[in-house]
Structure 1
Amino acid sequence: MRPLSLFVFFLIVLSNSLLFAHTELQEVWEPQVAGRFYSENENVLKGQINTFFKNIPEQPDKGKPLAVISPHAGYQYSGQVAAYGYKSIKGYEFTRVILLSPSHFSSGKRFRGVSILKTKNFKTPLGLITVDQEACNYLLTFAKGSSPTAPQKTTTLFGSYEGAYSGEHSLETQLPFLQLSLGNFTLVPIMVGILVDDDFDQIAHAIRPLLNDKTLVVVSSDFTHYGEGYGYVPFKTNIEKNIKALDYGAFEKILSKDFHGLRTYRKETGINTCGIIPIALLLKLLPENAQGEILNYDTSGRQSNNFSFSVSYASILFTKLPETKSGHYIPPLDSSEKHPPFSLTSEEKIRLLSLARNTLQTYTRTGIPPDLTPIERTVTPKLKKNYGVFVTLKKYGELRGCMGYVLPKRALFQGVVENTIKSSSGDCRFNPVEAQEISDIIIEISVLSELKKINKPVDFLLGKEGILIRKGLAHAVFLPQIAIEEGWGKIDTLRHLCQKAGLPKDAWKDDRMEFYVFTTNVFNEVDTI
Structure 2
Amino acid sequence: MKRKAAVAGSFYPENPEQLKKQVELFLNEAPKLEELGHIRALIVPHAGYVYSGSVAAFGYKQLCGKSYDTIFLIGASHKASFKGAATTSCSAFETPMVDVIVNQNIINDLTNASSIIFCDDEVHQGEHTLEVQLPFIQQAFDGFKGIVPLIIGNDERELQKLARLLKPYWVPSNLFIISTDFAHYPPSVIAEKEDKNTADAICTNSYHHLLNYLEQQRKTGADNLLTGLCGWSAVLTLLAITEGLSVKYHQLAYEHSGMKLYKDSSRVVGYHAIAVCDEKEKEKISRHESTYLLGVARDAILNHFGLPGDVTDKVQPVDTQSAGVFVSVYVNDELRGCIGRFSHAPLEELIREQAVNAAFFDSRFEALTLDELTDLTIEISVLTPMRLIGDIQEIEMGRHGIYIKKGGAHGTFLPQVGARNNWTVEEYLSRCARDKAHIGWDGWCEAEVYTYEAIIISDKDD
Q: Which TM class, normalised by the smaller chain length?
A: 0.5 to 0.7
Counterpart secondary structure, 1:225: coil
Q: 1:52 to 1:205 in 2, by over 3 A?
A: same
Q: Does 1:305 align with 2:263?
A: yes
Pairs within 5 Å for 1:343-362: none
Offset at residue 453 of structure 1 (A): 9.1
Distance 1:34 1:469 in 2: 46
Offset at residue 465 of structure 1 (A): 6.7
Q: Does 1:169 align with 2:128?
A: yes
Q: Which amino acid aligns with 1:256?
A: T
State the partner residue of 2:34: 60
Contact map agreement 1:469 1:514 (CA 8 A) in 2:
no
Distance 2:56 2:316 in 1: 39
Normalised TM-score (structure 2): 0.63
Q: 1:101 aligned to 75, 83, 107, which one?
A: 75
Q: 1:44 to 1:260 in 2, by over 3 A?
A: same
State the partner residue of 1:75: 49
Q: Which amino acid aligns with 2:118?
A: G
Distance 1:218 1:471 in 2: 24
Offset at residue 68 of structure 1 (A): 0.6
For residues 409-452 of structure 1, what are the alpha-carbon distances to aligned partners after superposition, in whole Å with 9 as ceiling and x for unaligned?
A: xxxxxxxxxxxxxxxxxxxxxxxxxxxxxxxxxxxxxxxxx969
State the partner residue of 2:196: 248
Offset at residue 36 of structure 1 (A): 1.1
Contact map agreement 2:45 2:273 (CA 8 A) in 1:
yes
Q: Does 1:120 align with 2:91?
A: yes
Distance 1:264 1:332 in 2: 27
Distance 2:213 2:323 in 1: 26
State the partner residue of 2:3: 29
Distance 1:469 1:63 in 2: 19
Q: 1:93 to 1:475 in 2, by over 3 A?
A: farther
Distance 2:310 2:194 in 1: 42
Distance 1:226 1:72 in 2: 15
Contact map agreement 1:471 1:513 (CA 8 A) in 2:
no
Counterpart secondary structure, 2:6: coil
Contact map agreement 1:322 1:331 (CA 8 A) in 2:
no
Offset at residue 475 of structure 1 (A): 11
Query: What runs of 5+ residues in structure 2 fail to find an aligned partner?
Result: 219-226, 299-308, 326-346, 360-377, 382-415, 417-454
CA RMSD of aligned residues (A): 3.5
Counterpart secondary structure, 2:125: coil
Distance 1:322 1:129 in 2: 32
Contact map agreement 2:191 2:269 (CA 8 A) in 1:
no
Q: Which amino acid aligns with 2:149?
A: P
Counterpart secondary structure, 1:45: helix
Distance 2:73 2:140 in 1: 15
Pairs within 5 Å for 1:274-353: 274-286=230-242, 287-303=244-260, 304-323=262-281, 330-331=282-283
Contact map agreement 1:259 1:280 (CA 8 A) in 2:
yes
Distance 1:274 1:475 in 2: 28
Distance 1:99 1:331 in 2: 33
Distance 1:133 1:257 in 2: 30
Q: 2:22 aligned to 29, 34, 48, which one?
A: 48
Q: Which amino acid aligns with 1:322?
A: K
For residues 52-77 of structure 1, what are the alpha-carbon distances to aligned partners after superposition, in whole Å with 9 as ceiling and x for unaligned?
A: 11112332231010111110011111
State the partner residue of 2:140: 181
Q: 1:265 aligned to 213, 237, 247, which one?
A: 213
Q: 2:106 aligned to 132, 135, 160, which one?
A: 135
Q: 1:502 to 1:44 in 2, by over 3 A?
A: farther
Query: What runs of 5+ residues in structure 1 fail to find an aligned partner?
Result: 1-25, 144-154, 228-238, 324-329, 334-405, 407-449, 477-494, 516-529
Q: Which amino acid aligns with 2:112?
A: T
Normalised TM-score (structure 1): 0.55
Q: 1:182 to 1:470 in 2, by over 3 A?
A: closer
